[in-house]
Amino acid sequence: MDHPIYYPKSEYIETDTGNKVSRRATIAGPQNIILGGKTVIANGAIIRGDLRRTGPGHAVVISLGRYCLVGEGCIMRPPYKTYRGNFNYYPMKIGDHVHIGANTVVEAAQIGSHVEIGKNCVIGKFTIIKDCAKIADNTVIPPNTVIPALSLFAGSPGHFVEDMPESTQEMVEAMTKSYYSRFQPDPSSAAAQQR
Partner 1 sequence: MSPSVEYYCPCQASTPHPPQPNLASSSYSFHALHNLYFCEECDAIRCNHCVMVEVSGYYCPNCLFEVPSASVRAEKNRCARNCFMCPSCKNTLSVVPSDPPDNGDGRIPPTINAAGEPPFFLYCNHCRWDSAEVGITFEKPTGLAAQLQKFEDSAPESLEFERLKEHFEPYLPAASSALARDIPGVARYTPHALSRSRSGRDKNANRQEVPDYRARVEIGAVTTGYALGGGADPDVEFMRHLETVEEVSTLEQRWGNSWVTSPRSLDLKPLRIPLHSKKSKRCPSCRHILIKPEQKAQSVRYKIKLVAANYLPAITINLPHMQAALAMLRRSGRANAEPQDGTMLAGKTYPFHLSFTNPLYDPIQVRLHVQRALPPPHPNAPPEAEKTRRPPFAIMLPTQAFPIAAFAEAWEYDDDEDMFGVEEEDEDFDGARDPRGRSRTVGVLERRANVTVIGGEVMISKESRGDIKFNMLVSYTYRSDDPEPEEPGTPSRLQAQPKQPEMKTFSFYTVVDLGTIIVRDTSSVDMDS
Interface ranges with partner 1 (CB under 8 A): 1-4, 6, 84-85, 114, 124, 130-132, 140, 142-146, 148-151, 157, 159-160, 163, 165-171, 177, 181-182, 184, 187-188
Q: Closest separation between CB of residue 31 and partner 1, Å?
A: 30
Q: Is 158 exposed, middle or buried (0-12, 13-18, 19+ CB in 10 A)?
A: buried
DSSP designation for 104: -
Q: Which is nearer to partner 1, 56 or 194 (CB)?
A: 194
CB of 164 to partner 1, least distance (A): 9
CA angle 146, 38, 6 (to 5 degrees): 110
- Shortest distance (Å) from residue 124 CB to partner 1: 7
Q: How far is the CB of 156 from partner 1 (least distance, A)?
A: 8
How far is Cα 171 from Cα 179, in angstroms, rounded to an integer?
12
Query: What's CA 168's distance to the chain center, in Å?
Result: 18
What pairs with residue 93 in β-bridges?
Answer: 63, 110
Q: Which is nearer to partner 1, 116 or 131 (CB)?
A: 131
Cβ proximity to partner 1, 6 vs 80, nearer residue: 6
Q: Which is closer to partner 1, CB of 52 or CB of 66?
A: 66
First to last CA, the chain: 31
